[in-house]
């Protein structure tokens, strides 16, 4: 993912077999670790999952990587294997999609889009400032 032509985040996934994929990397530049960047990257991974019919994801994480360990758990991955150095995480894509943490990220994006539509309507002269993006302005503007 790029911002102003600079790579700020990326995800690398490889097909293991059929609809099972391995997450080789999920990285964001330290200066760009923000909710909007994370949401956009997750949306791109979600689109890939839909396009490629991915149903399950696996990932390996070193136990010393506390940020990644917490991130996987917050997204809804669960530990399936573990040794002294690391863990294997597993998640069904459908479970990730219904995770409240991810839903909150998507909801915030929807609210931003609605707010942008609201500003556009105000600029066009809608006195009531209709908030629903698909709703026709009740005063006809």
112-139 as b/e, with b when 16 or more CB fall inside 10 Å?
Answer: eeeeebbeebeeeebeeebeeeeeeeee
* Interatomic CA distance for residues 72 and 126, integer angstroms: 44
Please name which of 75, 74, 82, 83 lies closest in space to residue 46, comparing C-alpha atoms: 75
The pLDDT value given to residue 54: 95
Q: Which residues of the chain register pLDDT less than 70?
A: 102-141
Options 3.30.465.10, 3.40.30.10, 3.40.50.300, 3.40.630.30; which CATH number does 2-98 get?
Answer: 3.40.630.30
Query: Beta-carbon neighbour count of residue 107 at 10 Å?
Result: 11
Q: Per DSSP, which regions of 30-77 are E strands?
A: 56-62
Per-domain residue ranges for the chain?
Answer: 2-98
Whole-model pTM over 0.85: no
* Interatomic CA distance for residues 133 and 92, integer angstroms: 32
The pLDDT value given to residue 138: 38
- Secondary structure of residue 14 in the 3-state scheme: strand
Structure tokens at 110: 């929807």
The pLDDT value given to residue 104: 61
The pLDDT value given to residue 116: 53
Helix, strand, coil: what percent of the chain each, to 5? Answer: 45, 30, 30
* Interatomic CA distance for residues 63 and 32, integer angstroms: 24
Long-range pairs for 65-70 at CB < 8 Å and ≥24 separation? 68/26
The pLDDT value given to residue 122: 43
The pLDDT value given to residue 33: 85
């Amino acid at each position: 993912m790029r911002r102003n032509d600079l790579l700020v985040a990326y995800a690398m996934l490889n097909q293991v077999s059929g609809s099972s994929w391995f997450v080789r990397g999920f990285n964001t530049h330290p200066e760009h670790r923000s909710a909007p960047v994370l949401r956009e990257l997750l949306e791109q991974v979600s689109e890939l999952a839909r396009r490629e019919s991915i149903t399950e994801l696996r990932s390996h994480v070193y136990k010393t990587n506390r940020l990644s360990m917490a991130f996987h758990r917050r997204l809804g991955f669960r530990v399936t294997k573990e040794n002294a150095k690391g863990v294997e995480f597993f998640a069904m894509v459908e479970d990730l999609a219904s995770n409240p943490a991810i839903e909150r990220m998507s909801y915030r994006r929807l609210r931003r889009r609605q707010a942008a539509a609201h500003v556009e309507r105000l600029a066009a002269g809608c006195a009531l400032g209709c908030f629903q993006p698909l709703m026709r302005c009740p005063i006809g503007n």
